Structure formats: C-alpha cells, structure tokens
Amino acid sequence: MNHAARSAEEEIIALSLDKFRWKTSRRIDLVEALFDDDLHFVHITGHVSSKREWIEELRSGRFVYNRIEPRGASVAVEGDRATLRGKAAFTVTMGEHRGQYRLAFTEVYVRKPAGWRLVELLTSTY
C-alpha cells in the first residue's frame, strides 16, 4: 500500500512503530523531527520533559532504548488530531542501570503542514 493510500489510523500506527525502531537504532534525528517543539512527555514517575530535555537525554546516552516490544495499539482520529493507546515492553539503560518495564502509553499526534507531529506522550506501568 503506498503512503498516500493509507488511512490516518494506519499512518499513526506506522509512525509509532517507526518511532520505536528509531529509538532502539539511535536515530535521534528522526525522533527529534517527529516530536513537536511543544511536546510534553509525562514519564512513569510523573516527571514532565520537554522535547529539548528528552532529546538531550537520548543524544547524551544517559537514557538508551535497548529493545521495545509492542503489545498492540489502537488509534482514534478526529480531524487533525489522533490519539494512540498501546502497550509495550521496554528494555532501557538509565546511567548504569538496565531494566525492563511493561508500559501503557498514550501518544497524541497533530497533523501540521509538515505532517503528523507527536505533541503529547504519557506513560504508566501495567
């Protein structure tokens, strides 16, 4: 299926999966391009990161996504806004500590002139 023929729901699921692949392959440039400048990322701890703060964590290697195993997702699209809800197992390294986390996440995308951008990311354990 060519990109133009994809439904908005399929586009969002593909973008979310691409984002996971980019994170684990350390393609931070592509992650940065997907994140809206006004991104709010609410971590499982409740801490909120901006785009700039989170990209710096990834670039510095202080936070590394080693493996991400998606466990399913659903998407609701309303006009130029899409909300994806999913679950995944994340293996990450934070500083000297490596751990695995089962997370539920909500990703909110907004369609802008340059394409879909991730504006909000909320995570919680399950």
SS3 of residue 95 by DSSP: coil
Q: Each residue of 26-40: pLDDT tens digit? A: 999 999 999 999 999
- Ranges of the chain with pLDDT below 70: 1-5
Give the pLDDT confidence score for residue 92 in this predicted structure: 97
Q: Which two tokens stand for residue 69?
A: 């195993």
What pLDDT, on the 0 to 100 scale, is given for residue 6?
Answer: 77
Helix (H, G, I), strand (E, B) or coil at 76: strand
Alpha carbons 17 and 11: distance in angstroms, whole number: 10
pLDDT at 1: 45
Q: Which residue has the tokens 């940065």?
A: 32
With vertex at residue 21, the alpha carbon angle to CA 102 and CA 18, rounded to the nearest 5 degrees, is 105
Q: With contact defined as beta carbons under 8 Å apart, do 12 and 92 qualify?
A: no
The pLDDT assigned to 120 comes to 98
Question: Closest Cα partner for 111 from 6, 11, 5?
Answer: 11
Sequence-separated (6 or more) residues with CB below 8 Å from residue 28: 22, 55, 58, 59
Confidence (pLDDT) at 39 = 97
pLDDT at 5 (0 to 100):
55
What's the pLDDT at 38? 96
Q: Quote the pTM value.
A: 0.92
CATH numbers and ranges of domains, the chain: 3-125 (3.10.450.50)
